[in-house]
Structure 1
Amino acid sequence: MKKTRYDRQPEVLIQGYNNQAWQGWESIVAALKTRLALANKTVLVIDCYPGVRLEEIETRLLPSLNASAIFNVELSRHDEHILQTLLAHNLTDDRVFGVLSCHQLPEFFDNTRMEALRQQIAAVPTGLVVVYGPGASLAHDGDILVYADLPRWEIQQRMRSGELGNWGAANQHEDMLRRYKRAFFIEWRVFDRHKTPLLKRADFLLDTTQADAPAMVSGEAFRAGLAFTVSRPFRVVPFFDPGLWGGQWMKDKFDLDPSKPNYAWCFDCVPEENSLLLRFGDVRIEIPSQDLVLLYPRPLLGEKVHARFGTEFPIRFDFLDTLGGQNLSLQVHPLTEYIQQNFGMHYTQDESYYVLEAEPGSEVYLGTKRGIDPQDMLNDLAAAQRGEKAFDDTKFVNRFPARKHDHFLIPAGTVHCAGAGTMVLEISATPYIFTFKLWDWGRLGLDGLSRPVHLEHGKHVIDWQRDTQWVTERLVNHVEPIAEGEGWREERTGLHEREFIETRRHWFSEPVLHDTQGGVNVLNLVEGAEALVESPAHAFEPFVVHYAETFIVPAAVGQYRISPYGSSLGQQLATMKAWVRG
């Protein structure tokens, strides 16, 4: 199978700050000491995202600073049983789903211990005082502030290895789904709220993604790098993950690790999860791409999208690979009112499947068959869940042939499943954790445990109106011509009117002019080897994208042009573009 030029490590090159970035502990210590030599008494605060390896900071950084006093703020944190009580409502008893937290970080600390810590810091008469750990800035604002960060994907790897439990919990060996749930619904929400104002004033950003290979950049350069990023098209760093049903297409096409059994997922544009790579000369800084959303939401998202979604990136592009694999689970996503009332989420996971590749005979499961009795189907699903029989999907669920460039729309409440033999570009709203599995073909997960089935949730949100006739008329390959010119044409392919995302496909062999119209655009090159994205006004450096790469065009960009490039000159290409409807 011919490989693509898909870039798994896209970088944003930042000019003018090469002397404000450092690699390795020795260089970082030297840079901090230069800054610390300015006052008689200095308080250095090293605040951290949960998951940062504190022992690495304790052994590789702190001893070299020659501090008069060092304080670990975690000693002021509430004990584990108090935290468990505080978070019980949000944690729930469910293995997968919790309730979105509105907690503030000070609630996680004991007031008496924290006040004692503040007094200890104040009592040190001279020299360097270091306060470190998640929440360190709650004890002191810091004369110098370092924020130590890392992406959520790296946190998940540390959880999977058994190295990392949840913050404030000795649960390294608890079920991974439960640890992820606690991080997703509580920790990451609380710490994103905490770190946002800190990133706006931090003197340094410390990248702790790679073990014992830190990098650091000045706060000025960090923020300038983010401001530059939202002025041009860019890509976040994709990550790939094996899964029970995963296929072989991405492994072969993207030159991934051949020792893995398969790759099921690729999160190609999910800023809450992905990294962003900023290049400052010889130093590469890896940060959560969510930092960009938190600090520069208006130029990135646009005024209207920011007003509606705040600092959440509402559009997700990811890949589902079942070529040489198996069916996904039969599933349904919650209705808006259900996700709001039960999980505290603002909006639900409406989505669509755009087929990049498909084997002959492959299918997509979509909607229930016309005329069935809903209770019969629920009874059959319940019997399958009890292990009494296999679910009779042929009796209850529609199947539609899946071919390259087909587009299946999946508003919440629609029963659906990508069948074996497809490579799907999933275009969806972002709360991706909210999938209610109805039937999983009797499989165990890669961890040997039964995969969670959520029939109790699912039965409350299935829209039984989405039957054969309804989905055929509204959800399968509804292509509407919009405009055309010499060498190009634009088509509307959805999404359904219940969904807030608009999608357009452009076929082109000549340059096509686009405009963000004040809102963020997300695109994928779904046909053709490579294309050039450039500014008609030369406002940003030309940007090359390759087949299957997803890229973000910030709202602030305005007009941009996409043209065939390199080996694709003279050929017909296609992009899929998504944005939030006004």
Structure 2
Amino acid sequence: MSFMFNPYPYDDPNAVNHICFDPELKKTVSADSLASAKRLTARILEQLSRSPRCIVALDGYITAPILQFKGLLSLQLAQNGISFEEISTQQLFLDSDTLYENFLPYLPEDKSTDPVLLYGSRYEGGYESLMKADEIEKLSSELKSFSESGKGVLILYGYGSLIDTLRRYCTLKLFIDMTQKRTILNIRQGMFTNLGSTKPMPVNQILRRSYYIDFEVVAEFRGKLICNGQIDYYIAGDNPDKMKMLPLTTMKALFETMIGYPLRCRPVYLEGVWGGFYVKRLRNLPEEMKNCAWVFDLIPMEVSIAADIETMELEFPFYCFVQVIGPKLMGKKPAEKFNGYFPIRFNYDDTFHSSGNMSIQVHPNGDYIKGNNELGRQDESYYMVVTGQEAKTYCGFHEDADVEEFIEKARRAEIYGEGFDHDKYVYSEPSVAGQQFLIPAGTIHASGRNQVILEIGSLTIGSYTYKMYDYMRKDLDGNLRPIHTFHGDKVLRRDFKESWVKANLIQKPRVIREGTGFEETIVGQHDLIYFSLRNVRFFEKYEDETTDRFHVLVLVEGEKCLIRSLTNPDRCFEQNYLDMVIVPAGFGPYEVINKGVGKVTIHKTLLKEGFENE
């Protein structure tokens, strides 16, 4: 799953990476919006001392405070007696009706197969395909003319200001970025309607188009600008009053420094109809939260990564971090294999002391979703972190289940609201803490109530959870939750039944490595899934090493550990219970030290040997 339609507005203050950064480079970072505008003005004055003209381009990610920054810059220019003109890119975009027609193949509107219009196909057309060619040419001519004979400053602002056709005339180029959580919250507050759109739309349809079209276009555009050195300044824009501006060289140097450390992302917390209370209490989440159903702890397209350099905190979209430094973070082969995307996603599902199970659901195979421009199948796994009384996990069908009858009853539930006994068809196992379930594409499955699971899955960019049955349950807004039997029926593996599940998907741990005071076991690995799931149990410490692949370590039993480099012990991360930490590829030999009492367990995920051939 990769859609975050309703994140809770909370920034976890504990999810910060403490980085030792070059103090001289830190001085080049502007601490807030006014300081950023003043520093940019000084740069413009410097440019005007050499030339009579300067074109400044202000571009940004979806919902970025471009107008606010332009306003601050305008005030500073006026105070310094600098004449300026302004041009917006708004007129470049195709009209709403044309965009709607162009996107119909990517956002079909068949409610018989997609009741709430959730699904779609990832757009790969690029920025200029959303624009009018004649308007681009017209604006390009204006910029060319100013670059040859204009005087003073021209501010070009808005989405797409830095497309290739326009960027070549710009003197100073800035990109204002946003974390995905803040972007979604801004959309929900009415601050964005979709690129080029002038028609009102329900928020969920704005978000649907954003995920398949707008976010894809702008995120790819951002990556190219940064990786190709095509901007002068990067601005972290989540807080309009505290926009921090970095020269691109400083940003890249910071990222290079960060991958020398074990790293944790900043999670996103979401409420849900089946949400529980374990994580809410553990992490002291706001009392006002109804519950905590999901913790997006390492879903690459959704979370952020924050670095604390002395007294200054900088936060970046994790996907931007991966775009810039991916091969060094993941390893060269993983970066090539997965087209620059971080290949595994991690989150917690919390039903502890909740009102019910997650939905009975299924995910598609590669053939089914590659037509939507996805990179591959959606496989998952559940690791039982905490289990309460009567907790159970659904996985596969009973041996004697009539699967066609199950599908027919699921359809009747969807169409007529007729509930049925899902336990008659879907096999379940009592959940035990430390147990690993593998869930390859096509497996019917669900987490039962009264447990916290660590969910680990393969790379998917869109949302491809097909709910087959949801107990006739309403969502937090009082609407009946949608069911997706049309798609679910097409991808469901009828042959994944109890005996096969027990033999393949619920495995007995097998020891692969032992040392003084520690033992590493494989708790889940299968030919259908390209990553390996391990447990490392120890009293005092153990040693490990990354070379060509990253590790993700989760402290699933114990209070606190220290993860640190054996060659440079200052490069470390203090990990608390349930913290999820990436040890970058190339980090080299490292040790994990138990800072609490008793025996601890680290859940370790890495790409399998030979993953690049799968």
TM-score by length of 2: 0.90
Deviation at 1:546, TM superposition (A): 0.7
| 8 A contact 1:269–1:551 mirrored in 2 | no
CA distance in structure 2 between the aligned counterparts of 1:561 and 1:512, rounded to whole angstroms: 6
Residue type matched to 1:56 in 2?
A: Q
Are residues 1:296 and 2:296 paired? no
What pairs with 1:181-580 in structure 2 (closer than 5 Å)? Answer: 181-200=208-227, 201=229, 202-325=231-354, 326-341=356-371, 343-431=372-460, 433-538=463-568, 541-565=571-595, 568=596, 570-580=597-607
What pairs with 1:25-174 in structure 2 (closer than 5 Å)? Answer: 25-39=33-47, 40=51, 41-66=53-78, 67-93=83-109, 94=114, 95-124=117-146, 125-138=150-163, 139-141=166-168, 142-170=170-198, 173-174=201-202
Deviation at 1:455, TM superposition (A): 0.5
* Structure 1 residues without counterparts, runs of 5 or longer: 1-5
Residue type matched to 2:21 in 1?
A: Q
Residue type matched to 1:258 in 2?
A: E
Residue type matched to 2:154 in 1?
A: V
CA distance in structure 2 between the aligned counterparts of 1:204 and 1:55, rounded to whole angstroms: 17
Deviation at 1:517, TM superposition (A): 3.4
Deviation at 1:413, TM superposition (A): 0.5
CA distance in structure 2 between the aligned counterparts of 1:14 and 1:152, rounded to whole angstroms: 26
Deviation at 1:12, TM superposition (A): 4.2
Deviation at 1:539, TM superposition (A): 6.6
Cα deviation, 1:164-206, whole Å, max 9, x if unaligned, reads 3222224665142x32221221112111221122113222111
Q: Answer with 474-483 or 55-64: which moved more.
A: 55-64
Residue type matched to 1:129 in 2?
A: L
CA distance in structure 1 between the aligned counterparts of 2:575 and 2:280, rounded to whole angstroms: 19
Q: Answer with 257-266 or 125-134: which moved more.
A: 125-134
Equivalent of residue 17 in structure 2, options 3, 7, 11: 11
CA RMSD of aligned residues (A): 1.7
CA distance in structure 1 between the aligned counterparts of 2:220 and 2:340, rounded to whole angstroms: 10
CA distance in structure 2 between the aligned counterparts of 1:222 and 1:340, rounded to whole angstroms: 34
Q: Secondary structure at the match of 2:162?
A: helix
96 and 371 in structure 1: CA distance in 2 versus 1, 3 angstrom threshold? same
Q: After the TM superposition, list the runs of 4 or more consecutive aligned residues in structure 1 that deviate by more than 6 angstroms.
A: none
Residue type matched to 1:15 in 2?
A: F
Residue type matched to 1:191 in 2?
A: V
| 8 A contact 2:262–2:572 mirrored in 1 | no
CA distance in structure 2 between the aligned counterparts of 1:329 and 1:366, rounded to whole angstroms: 12
CA distance in structure 1 between the aligned counterparts of 2:513 and 2:422, rounded to whole angstroms: 40
Deviation at 1:292, TM superposition (A): 1.4
Cα deviation, 1:189-246, whole Å, max 9, x if unaligned, reads 1112211221132221111112433221221111111111222211111110111110
* Structure 2 residues without counterparts, runs of 5 or longer: 1-11
213 and 575 in structure 1: CA distance in 2 versus 1, 3 angstrom threshold? same
CA distance in structure 2 between the aligned counterparts of 1:285 and 1:168, rounded to whole angstroms: 31
Residue type matched to 1:481 in 2?
A: V
CA distance in structure 2 between the aligned counterparts of 1:506 and 1:171, rounded to whole angstroms: 54
Question: What fraction of aligned residue pairs are identical, expressed as a percent?
Answer: 25
Residue type matched to 2:468 in 1?
A: L
186 and 443 in structure 1: CA distance in 2 versus 1, 3 angstrom threshold? same
Residue type matched to 1:242 in 2?
A: E
| 8 A contact 2:261–2:587 mirrored in 1 | yes
The total of aligned residue pairs comes to 572
| 8 A contact 2:553–2:581 mirrored in 1 | yes
Residue type matched to 1:78 in 2?
A: L
TM-score by length of 1: 0.95
Q: Secondary structure at the match of 1:21?
A: coil
Look up the match of 2:7. none
160 and 395 in structure 1: CA distance in 2 versus 1, 3 angstrom threshold? same
